[in-house]
Amino acid sequence: MIWQSLDSILTRIRPRREVLALAIDALVVAACWHITYLFRLGFERWHSARPDYDVWVMLALVALYLGVFVALRVPKGMWRFSGFGEVQRLTLACAIAGLVGAVAVLMAQLSQVPRAVLALHPVVSLMGLAMVRIGYRMLYEHMRGRISGSATETRRALVMGAGDAARLLIAGIQHHGWVVVGLLDDDRRRLGTRVSNVPVLGPLDSAPRWAELHGISHIIVALPSATPAERRRALDLAAATHLPVVTVPSAAELREGTTVTRVREIEAEDLLGREPVQLDEGGISEALGGKVVLITGAGGSIGSELCRQVARYGPLKLVLYELSEFALYRIEQELSEHFPHIPLVRLVGDVRDPEHLRATFTRVRPQVVFHAAAYKHVPLMEEDNAFAALRNNTLGTWRAASAAAEAGAERFVLISTDKAVNPTNVMGASKRAAEMVIAKLAAEVLARGGRTRFMAVRFGNVLGSSGSVIPKFKEQIARGGPVTVTHPDITRFFMTIPEAARLVVQAAAIGEGGQVFVLDMGEPVRIVDLARDLIRMSGHSADEIPITFSGLRPGEKLYEELLADADATLATRFERLRIARLDDRGHDVQALLDWAAERSSAPDDEVRERLARLVSEYRRAGH
> Tell me: the pLDDT tens digits for 453-498?
998 988 766 665 555 677 788 888 888 878 888 888 887 767 777 7
Per-residue pLDDT, 317: 95
In this predicted structure, the answer to whether residue 500 has a pLDDT above a threshold of 90 is: no
28 and 116 assigned to the same domain:
yes
For the beta carbon of residue 348, count every other beta carbon within 10 angstroms. Answer: 15
For the beta carbon of residue 72, count every other beta carbon within 10 angstroms. Answer: 16
Domain assignment present for 476: no
Strand 368-371 to strand 317-322: parallel, antiparallel, or no bridges (unpaired)?
A: unpaired
**Helical residues (DSSP H) of 463-526, grouped into ranges:** 469-478, 497-510
Choice among 527-536, 539-548, 553-562 with the minimum mean pLDDT: 553-562
Per-residue pLDDT, 217: 83
CA-angle at 382, arms to 379 and 387, nearest 5°? 135
Residues in a beta bridge with 155: 178
330 and 400 assigned to the same domain:
yes
**Higher pLDDT, residue 620 or 154:** 620
Domain assignment present for 528: no
Tens-digit pLDDT profile for residues 111-135: 778 888 888 888 988 899 888 888 8
Could you give the 3-state DSSP secondary structure of residue 319? strand
31 and 135 assigned to the same domain:
yes
142 and 207 assigned to the same domain:
no
253 and 217 assigned to the same domain:
yes
Residues in a beta bridge with 317: 292
Convert 258-282 to b/e letters by CB count within 10 Å (16 or more is b). Answer: eebeebeebbbbbbbbbebbebbee
Per-residue pLDDT, 575: 66
135 and 173 assigned to the same domain:
no
Confidence at 378, pLDDT banded by 50, 70, 90: confident
Domain assignment present for 296: yes
In this prediction, residues 89-100 reach a mean pLDDT of 88
**Higher pLDDT, residue 44 or 202:** 202
Q: Starting at the edge strand that comes first in sequence, how are the strands of the sheet with 568-571 ordered?
A: 344-348, 317-322, 292-296, 368-371, 411-417, 453-459, 515-519, 577-581, 568-571
Domain assignment present for 140: yes
Per-residue pLDDT, 374: 92
116 and 225 assigned to the same domain:
no
In this predicted structure, the answer to whether residue 152 has a pLDDT above a threshold of 80 is: no
Domain assignment present for 477: no
608 and 509 assigned to the same domain:
yes
Q: What share of residues in the chain are helix, strand, coil (percent, to 5)?
A: 50, 15, 35
| End-to-end C-alpha distance for the chain, whole angstroms | 72
331 and 368 assigned to the same domain:
yes
Residue 589, judged by CB atoms within 10 A of its CB (0-12, 13-18, 19+), counts as buried
Residues in a beta bridge with 463: 496
Contact 607, 388 (CB under 8 A): no
Domain assignment present for 620: no
Query: Which is catalytic among the residues 419, 431, 440, 557?
Result: 419
98 and 189 assigned to the same domain:
no
In eight-state DSSP terms, residue 152 is S
CA distances from 367 to 119, 182, 354, 400, 543 (A): 94, 55, 19, 13, 55
H-run or E-run covering 159: strand 155-160
What is the spatial distance between Cα 334 and Cα 444, in angstroms, rounded to a whole number?
39
**What's the mean per-residue pLDDT of the chain?**
82
Could you give the 3-state DSSP secondary structure of residue 558? coil
Confidence at 151, pLDDT banded by 50, 70, 90: very low
CA 236 to chain centre: 15
Per-residue pLDDT, 566: 44
For the beta carbon of residue 418, count every other beta carbon within 10 angstroms. Answer: 24
Contact 158, 219 (CB under 8 A): yes
R_g of the chain, CA atoms, integer Å: 35
Convert 500-531 to b/e letters by CB count within 10 Å (16 or more is b). Answer: bbbbbbbbbbbbebbbbbbbebeebbbbbebb
In this predicted structure, the answer to whether residue 339 has a pLDDT above a threshold of 70 is: yes
What is the spatial distance between Cα 46 and Cα 6, in angstroms, rounded to a whole number?
37
What is the spatial distance between Cα 475 and Cα 543, in angstroms, rounded to a whole number?
18
290 and 435 assigned to the same domain:
yes
In this predicted structure, the answer to whether residue 223 has a pLDDT above a threshold of 60 is: yes
Per-residue pLDDT, 582: 63
Tens-digit pLDDT profile for residues 426-438: 999 999 999 999 9
pTM of the model: 0.66
358 and 222 assigned to the same domain:
no
Q: Which domain holds residue 101?
A: 2-148
Domain assignment present for 129: yes
Per-residue pLDDT, 258: 55
Domain assignment present for 306: yes
Domain boundary among 104, 131, 148: 148
Q: What CATH number is given to the structural domain containing 333?
A: 3.40.50.720
Sequence-ordered list of residues with C-beta below 8 angstroms from that of 44, at least 6 positions apart, any chain: none
Domain boundary among 266, 299, 322: 266
CB hemisphere CA count around 63 (13 angstroms): 6
Per-residue pLDDT, 88: 84
Domain boundary among 117, 148, 179: 148
Confidence at 565, pLDDT banded by 50, 70, 90: very low
In eight-state DSSP terms, residue 390 is I
Choice among 167-176, 295-304, 531-540, 580-589 with the minimum mean pLDDT: 580-589
440 is known as an active-site residue: no
Specify the number of domains making up the chain: 3
